[in-house]
Amino acid sequence: MRSDAIKKGAERAPHRSLFRATGLKDEDFKKPFIGIANSYNNIAPGHVHLNKIAEAVKAEIIKVGGVPLEFGVIGVCDGIAMGHEGMKYSLGSRELIADSVETMAKAHAFDALVLIPNCDKIIPGMLMGACRLDLPTIVISGGPMLVGKSDKGEALDYSLVYEAVGKFANGAINAKELHDIECKACPGPGSCSGMFTANSMNCLCETLGIALPGNGTIPAVYPERLDLARQAGRQILELVKKDIKIRDILQKEAFDNALAVDMALGCSTNSALHLPAIAYEAGLEITLHRINEVSEKVAHLCNLAPAGPDHLEDLNRAGGITAVMNELAKKNILTGNLLTVTGKTVAENYKDHPVQDYKVIAPIDKPHHAKGGLAALFGNIARDGSIVKQSAVAPEMMEHSGPARVFDSEEDAYEAITGGKIKKGDVVVIRYEGPKGGPGMREMLQPTASIAGMGLDKDVALITDGRFSGATRGAAIGHISPEAMAGGEIALIKEGDIIEINIPKKTLNVLVSTEELEKRRKAWHQPDPNIKTGYMARYAKLVTSANLGAVLQ
């Protein structure tokens, strides 16, 4: 066992002595040491219950002959970090998490890992660290939140609170109505209830084969969630016995499967950051061009919030991710013979799980959209690409031209939007918010939700070198690469320039001549960094472009 390095032989008596102080006995030193990476905290609703998940996992590991060794992992709540300086730290926390998992596993010679994340950057961060280690690994998330309900019985979720702020600013609702929405949108623990970033990544963990069926969709408060945790605790010992490591599962075809399910579900645009980053740590590559290739051939089957009315509990009731995969398999879209943590193949996992409700998971021959949820756009202000959740764009905004309204920070743009300074037809440009420029590539849910709340989501587009929450809807195009801080052409746009967006043709351009852009480039000067000390200052020096997954090099 790998853990023999810290527990076997006379020379390891000091190590065993320290472990004895934690409660280990003689018989424990003959068993596999299983690292439990737990992002429990009492800050984020997605994490407040993960201690219960961990206890279920640990109890089962002990029962089947392993030694669980739990350690904590930080977990930023993107919702609470949204709209202020805290959001600069969210994406950067992904790398800290990866480093923490790698460090703890190496320092303590774990034989395997159980990863217990639930939100946004924590999931990919843990996976990135695990890929570096290449140990037997399984993911068991905390599960999604149940949907909230208004007094009228209407579904509420976290993103609708932001839209309500826009409605309040526009005079469409009063303070009491806003307060009622605030109080009822998030009814309990779990990752926010729509197909936002956390749920996107938890669902894609199933598709990749590194989580058990149900991981992405079983609600946090259902007893089946704890059953799944116990099953994960048992299964990690099977992976140890068979020495099935994470890179044995995360093959190139597994990522293609994940992209296909991503397109069918209409996942968050953040998956276009995280899947390439995980692949990078696994020694593979996912490009924005590959995302377009998959999107062209995979239909959009699920009309999930924020694009539609359904939520994760609806998807779970309709059969979950295995049902989506079963439907996709009818067109031979998936590679079915790949290994998964169940010990079965991908195809064996989904074959007996047909769709239970075709209102939630559309038939493959009658999809919501013929093409997938995401699209990468290229052009003279996005030479290396950009990303849009096309399934959440109104039909009338799939092609749009309008004057640029240019802002060098999210705060300035938000003030203009809520102040009524953005008009129908405008294209809001928010720059210097990329991985280097932010630094940290802030999510722009506040301005995009305000545009929707102001009733402008079918008339106004927004482009940025920052990124969006999975809760964003509308013609919101992010990840523009190269970013402004790196001298990308988005830095050269001037107020009033005409921006031309054509999502069907995958293009994004400013209607300015090459000669004029070069003239502007010669006059451009890189601004001073927004953060000059601490972790994010170091992060800004090492982080790569969004089209590469914003990994550190």
Instruction: Convert the pLDDT of each residue in 526-548 to its tens digit.
Output: 999 999 999 999 999 999 999 99
Q: What is the mean pLDDT of residues 46-67?
A: 98
- Find the mean pLDDT for residues 116-121: 96
* Backbone φ and ψ of 300, nearest 5°: -90, 115
Band the pLDDT of 121: cuts 50, 70, 90. Answer: very high
Buried b (16+ CB within 10 A) or exposed e, 377-411: bbbbbbebbbbbbbbbbeeebbebebebbbbbbbe
* Beta carbons within 8 Å of 313's beta carbon, 6+ residues apart: 144, 146, 147, 193, 217, 219
Whole-number Å distance between alpha carbons of 134 and 250: 10
Model pLDDT for residues 224-268, shown as the tens digit of each residue: 999 999 999 999 999 999 999 999 999 999 999 999 999 999 999
Reply yes or no on whether the pLDDT at 382 is more than 90: yes
Dist. CA 372–CA 362, nearest whole Å: 13
Cβ-Cβ contacts under 8 Å for 519 (sequence gap 6 or more): none
CA distance 539 to 231: 38
Residue 47: name the closest of 147, 98, 131, 120 by CA.
120
Residue 473 in this model has a pLDDT that exceeds 90? no
Instruction: State residue 104's pLDDT score.
Output: 98
Inform me whether the pLDDT recorded for 469 exceeds 90.
no
Strands 382-389 and 67-72 come out as: unpaired
Averaged confidence pLDDT in the chain: 97
HSE, CB side, 13 Å, CA atoms: give it for residue 299: 19
Measured CA distances, 387 to 288, 325, 335 (Å): 8, 24, 25
Taking residues 300-321, what's their average pLDDT? Answer: 96
Q: What's the CA gap between 207 and 228, in Å, rounded?
A: 16
Residue 437 has a pLDDT of 97
- Does residue 120 have a known ligand-binding role? yes
**CA–CA distance, 548 with 277 (Å, rounded to integer):** 7
Residue 156 has what pLDDT?
97
Q: What is the largest CA-CA distance in the chain?
A: 76
| Confidence at residue 262, expressed as pLDDT on a 0 to 100 scale | 97
pLDDT tens for 497-513 read: 999 999 999 999 999 99
pLDDT > 70: what percent of the chain?
100
Q: Is the backbone peptide bond immediately before 439 cis, with ω within 30 degrees of 0?
A: yes
pLDDT for position 170: 86
26 assigned binding-site residue: no
Using a pLDDT cut of 90, give the percent of the chain over it: 94
| Tokens (6 digits) for 322 | 């295995």
**Token pair in block for residue 505:** 């043709």
Q: DSSP letter string over 325-378?
A: HHHHHTTT-S--S-B-TTSSBHHHHHTT---S-TTTB--TTS-SBSS-SEEEEE
245: left (phi over 0), alpha (psi -120 to 50) or beta: beta
Q: How does strand 374-379 pair with strand 461-464?
A: unpaired
In this prediction, residue 10 carries a pLDDT of 98
Nearest to 191 by CA among 199, 183, 201, 180: 199
Mean pLDDT, range 467-496, rounded to an integer: 95
User: What is the pLDDT at residue 374?
Assistant: 96
CA 183, CA 150: separation in Å to the nearest integer?
9
Catalytic residue among 469, 481, 513, 545: 469
Give 169's pLDDT tier (boundaries 50, 70, 90): confident
Neighbouring residues of 28: CB distance < 8 A, sequence distance ≥ 6: 19, 67
111 is in an annotated binding site: no
| Of 409, 65, 374, the residue nearest 241 (C-alpha) | 65
- 100: annotated active-site residue: no
Cα–Cα distance, 29 to 185 (Å, whole number): 48
Dist CA 469 CA 160 (whole Å) = 13
Q: Which domains does the chain have, with CATH numbers?
A: 31-147+188-351 (3.40.50.2300), 148-183 (no CATH), 375-548 (3.50.30.80)
pLDDT confidence of residue 406: 98
- From 72-81, 298-307, 447-456, 515-524, the region with the lowest mean pLDDT: 447-456
Instruction: Report the distance separating Cα 541 and Cα 531, nearest Å.
Output: 11
78 assigned to a ligand binding site: yes
For residue 453, name the pLDDT band (cuts at 50, 70, 90). Answer: confident
Residue 131 · residue 250 · CB < 8 Å: yes
